[in-house]
């Protein structure tokens, strides 16, 4: 019996096996497959969940913007309200001060004034007429017999009617001199104000008034009352510049000396503390002394002085 020959299939498998190259041990063969390119998702590809998420983000952003706008508006409103309240408090304080002033004036006018002239009534009228300093006479359309227009000076007529002929204020004497000092004081300052704070009975039937003067120092003030502070060519020294355009308040007193027999005021002594506001503006007593060394106004009474010859 002849030996059986190998089958054709076995031979082919053997040949295929023998024809392959053997790889080293430990090497694993992999089959590389091509990866399709990533597709960019368009709006049409977004799922309902994606669209819902984007909508939520947009709504949250709008909510945050609205909240921030509301916070800004609320802060602006609170600031406006605070400013309004502050201004209201200032106005209330000013009204209260004005009420106190009016109450003081009312007390003065209603302090048991009899029908005849008294020092109380005269003092009240004095502060009413001179509350804005000197007032120039008023010219009327009527003419006197000599063709000169009639003029009325309420302040002068009041002083003549209530003061003695030789009334004095320690330095000047007579009604004309008193009114002239008021005229010069008002001429050399701006926005003169005289405010009555308190009235008290003084010795020997006199009446003492505590007052406040308000004045503004202008270039006209410096030229007429402090000419020595000018350094030439219309220029002012540094101390003069500290005074220029300053509004100052002066605490003072006016004592109405009363004569019962004549029913008139015989003395009108005035004191004014000009030192305190000047010291605040000028900074030292040395500076104050320099400013008033050649000044034409008294530091103790604010009286206008005659120019030195």
Of the chain, the percentage scoring pLDDT greater than 90 comes to 45
Pick the range with the lowest mean pLDDT from 31-45, 89-103, 191-205, 288-302.
31-45
Per-residue b/e over 263-283, b at no fewer than 16 CB within 10 Å?
ebbbbbbbbbbbeebbeeebe
Average pLDDT over residues 201-230: 93
Higher pLDDT, 218 or 9: 218
Phi, psi of 55 (to 5 degrees): -65, -40
- What pLDDT, in 10s, does the model give residues 149-161? 555 689 999 999 9
Residue 152 has a pLDDT of: 67
Average pLDDT over residues 203-214: 92
Higher pLDDT, 170 or 272: 272
Closest alpha carbon to 208 in 153, 256, 171: 256
Residue 105 has a pLDDT of: 60
Spatial CB neighbours of 9, under 8 Å, sequence gap ≥ 6: none
249: β partners = 214
pLDDT band at 27 (very low <50, low <70, confident <90, very high): very low
Question: Does the pLDDT at position 116 exceed 50?
Answer: no
- For the chain, the straight-line distance linking the first and the last C-alpha, in angstroms and rounded, comes to 174
Residue 102 has a pLDDT of: 73
Higher pLDDT, 26 or 115: 26
Alpha-carbon span 124 to 120, nearest angstrom = 6
Average pLDDT over residues 43-67: 77
Residue 138 has a pLDDT of: 75
Question: Does the pLDDT at position 24 exceed 80?
Answer: no
Cα 258 vs. chain centroid, distance in angstroms? 43
Inter-helix orientation angle 175-187/154-162, to 10°: 150
- What pLDDT, in 10s, does the model give residues 1-19? 444 444 444 444 444 444 4
Residue 17 has a pLDDT of: 45
This prediction has a pTM of 0.59
CB-CB contact of 174 with 189 (8 Å) = no
Residue 47 has a CB neighbour count (10 Å cut-off) of 9
Cα→Cα distances 283→94, 126, 279, 291, Å? 30, 35, 5, 12
Spatial CB neighbours of 205, under 8 Å, sequence gap ≥ 6: 119, 258, 260
Question: Does the pLDDT at position 228 exceed 90?
Answer: yes
CB-CB contact of 198 with 101 (8 Å) = no
- Side-chain-side CA neighbours of 211 within 13 Å: the count stands at 27
Structure tokens at 119: 């020092």
Sheet holding 190-201, edge to edge: 163-168, 264-273, 247-259, 207-216, 190-201
Alpha-carbon span 182 to 187, nearest angstrom = 8
Residue 152 has a CB neighbour count (10 Å cut-off) of 10
* Tokens 């009527």, located at residue: 142
CB-CB contact of 162 with 264 (8 Å) = yes
Question: Does the pLDDT at position 22 exceed 80?
Answer: no
Highest mean pLDDT among 100-104, 117-121, 256-260: 256-260
């Amino acid at each position: 019996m002849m030996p059986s020959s190998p089958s054709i299939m076995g031979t082919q498998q053997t040949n295929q096996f023998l024809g392959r190259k053997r790889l080293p041990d430990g090497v694993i063969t992999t089959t590389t497959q091509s990866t399709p390119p990533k597709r960019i998702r368009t709006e049409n590809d977004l799922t309902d969940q994606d669209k819902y998420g984007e909508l939520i983000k947009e709504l949250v952003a709008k909510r945050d913007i609205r909240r921030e706008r509301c916070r800004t508006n609320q802060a602006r409103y609170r600031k406006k309200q605070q400013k309004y309240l502050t201004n209201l408090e200032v106005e209330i304080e000013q009204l209260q001060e004005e009420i106190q002033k009016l109450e003081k004036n009312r007390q003065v006018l209603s302090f048991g004034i009899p029908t005849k002239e008294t020092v109380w009534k005269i003092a009240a009228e004095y502060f009413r007429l001179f509350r804005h300093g000197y007032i120039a006479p008023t010219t009327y359309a009527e003419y006197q017999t000599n063709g000169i227009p009639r003029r009325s000076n309420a302040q002068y007529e009041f002083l003549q009617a209530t003061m003695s002929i030789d009334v004095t204020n320690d330095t000047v004497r007579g009604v004309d001199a008193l009114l002239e000092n008021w005229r010069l004081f008002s001429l050399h300052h701006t926005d003169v104000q005289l405010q009555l704070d308190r009235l008290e009975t003084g010795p020997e039937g006199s009446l003492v008034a505590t007052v406040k003067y308000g004045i503004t120092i202008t270039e006209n003030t410096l030229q007429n009352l402090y000419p020595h502070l000018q350094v030439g060519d219309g220029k002012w020294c540094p101390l003069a510049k500290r005074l220029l355009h300053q509004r100052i308040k002066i605490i003072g007193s006016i004592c109405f000396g009363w004569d019962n027999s004549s029913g008139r005021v015989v003395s009108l002594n005035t004191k004014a503390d000009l030192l305190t506001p000047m010291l605040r503006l000028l900074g030292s007593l040395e500076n104050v002394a320099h400013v008033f060394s050649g000044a034409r106004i008294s530091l103790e009474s604010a009286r206008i002085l005659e120019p030195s010859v």
